[in-house]
């Protein structure tokens, strides 16, 4: 039997087993999720498959406001900005897309892609630059839009970012296709990510990116701290305990001489943190 035939056979077997599970005729979504979890325990579903199915079900319940990046965390490019103004913003944030803001009205005029600046960088000062010549059309969506609808529109329109507006038409935040997909498939590598085996990445003298699954013992060793792990085992657990709830993207909390900002999180757990040392006595 060829590899392709084997793959088809395995897929068909998986679907048949799933069908047998669904014959239990769940009465509501909670029943369905429980059936899936029971199937995973009986090895009818893999753990990754179960997590993705739960993510798909969750996406149909969530709205854009639930996962959007809030306005306060958006890196805007002023519409009248020069290249000398823009380059530091692009380098420091390491983002690939930036809303272009009309400073007089505070409205978003378009989207600037970092890759569109490459030709200007190559030409140096010899090429005249106006951000309005290169910015792309901006897509605007309401806070109440369902994530499954948002994903469908991203795919249909081939857009990767949308500006979220409130009921008054003001910018409330932004959302990307990656934000939506991560609700289904889990963490996706992006500009914040680093080598798989690394858990702590130093950005500068006082700023670090830290995976939420970093063991507290490892954190203590790196930063000469002595946090106990009686109640929680990871830095993410310690931070959630400090918040008193599962925080959303952009929320911050201070623990002694460390300021923790949530870079990535979903409704269930925190994935990635930015930690800034605010007390010189706590430097690594």
**Do the Cβ atoms of 208 and 103 come closer than 8 Å?**
no
Structural domain containing residue 92 = 66-185
pTM of the complete model: 0.57
Q: Are residues 78 and 169 in the same domain?
A: yes
Q: Evaluate whether residue 57 is within a structural domain.
A: no
pLDDT score of 126 more than 80: no
Report pLDDT digits (tens) over 214-250: 999 999 999 999 998 777 889 999 999 999 998 887 8
> Is 244 found in the same domain as 212?
yes
CB atoms under 10 Å from CB of 19, counted, come to: 9
Flag whether 54 is in a domain.
no
pLDDT for 8 beyond 70:
no
Q: How far is CA 142 from CA 146, 158, 169, 277, in A?
A: 9, 19, 9, 37
Domain boundary pick from 122, 157, 185? 185
Burial classification of residue 249, based on how many CB atoms lie within 10 Å of its CB (0-12 exposed, 13-18 middle, 19 or more buried)? buried
Give the CATH number for residue 81: 3.10.580.10
Q: If pLDDT is split at 50, 70 and 90, which confidence band does 1 have?
A: low
Choose one of 185, 220, 249: the last residue of a domain.
185
Select from 137, 155, 185 the last residue of a domain.
185
146 assigned to some structural domain: yes
Same domain, residue pair 210 and 161: no
Query: Is 254 in a helix, a strand, or coil?
Result: strand
pLDDT digits (tens, 9 = 90+) for 167-196: 988 999 999 998 888 877 766 555 455 555
- 33 with 74, same domain: the answer is no
Highest mean pLDDT among 29-43, 165-179, 268-282: 165-179
Instruction: Give residue 149's pLDDT band: very low, low, confident or very high (50, 70, 90).
Output: very high
- If asked whether residues 157 and 181 sit together in one domain, one would say yes
Overall domain count for the chain: 3
Rounded to 10 degrees, the C-alpha dihedral 123/128/130/134 comes to -40
Asked if 166 and 215 sit in the same domain, the reply is: no
Higher pLDDT, 235 or 39: 235
12 and 41 within one domain: yes
């Amino acid at each position: 039997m060829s590899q392709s035939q084997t793959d088809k056979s395995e897929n068909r077997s998986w679907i048949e087993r799933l069908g047998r599970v669904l014959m239990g005729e769940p009465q509501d979504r909670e029943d369905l999720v429980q059936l899936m979890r029971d199937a995973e325990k009986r090895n009818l579903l893999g753990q990754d498959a179960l997590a993705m199915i739960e993510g798909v079900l969750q996406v149909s319940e969530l709205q854009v406001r639930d996962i959007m990046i809030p306005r306060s965390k958006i890196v805007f490019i002023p519409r009248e900005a020069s290249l000398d103004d823009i380059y530091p913003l692009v380098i420091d944030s390491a983002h690939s897309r930036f809303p272009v803001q009309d400073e007089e009205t505070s409205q978003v005029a378009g989207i600037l892609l970092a890759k569109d600046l490459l030709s200007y960088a190559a030409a140096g000062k010899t090429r005249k630059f106006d951000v309005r010549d290169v910015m792309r059309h901006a897509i605007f969506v309401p806070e109440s839009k369902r994530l499954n609808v948002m994903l469908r529109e991203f795919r249909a329109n081939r857009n990767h970012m949308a500006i979220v507006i409130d009921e008054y038409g003001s910018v409330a935040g932004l959302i990307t296709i990656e934000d939506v997909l991560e609700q289904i498939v889990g963490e996706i590598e992006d500009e914040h990510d680093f080598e798989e085996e690394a858990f702590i990445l130093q950005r500068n003298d006082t700023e670090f990116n830290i995976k939420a699954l970093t063991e507290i013992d490892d954190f203590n060793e790196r930063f000469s701290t002595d946090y106990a792990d009686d109640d929680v085992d990871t830095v993410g657990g310690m931070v959630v305990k400090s918040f008193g709830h599962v925080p959303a993207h952009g929320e911050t909390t201070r623990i002694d001489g460390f300021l923790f900002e949530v870079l990535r999180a979903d409704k269930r757990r925190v994935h990635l943190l930015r930690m800034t040392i605010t007390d010189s006595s706590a430097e690594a």
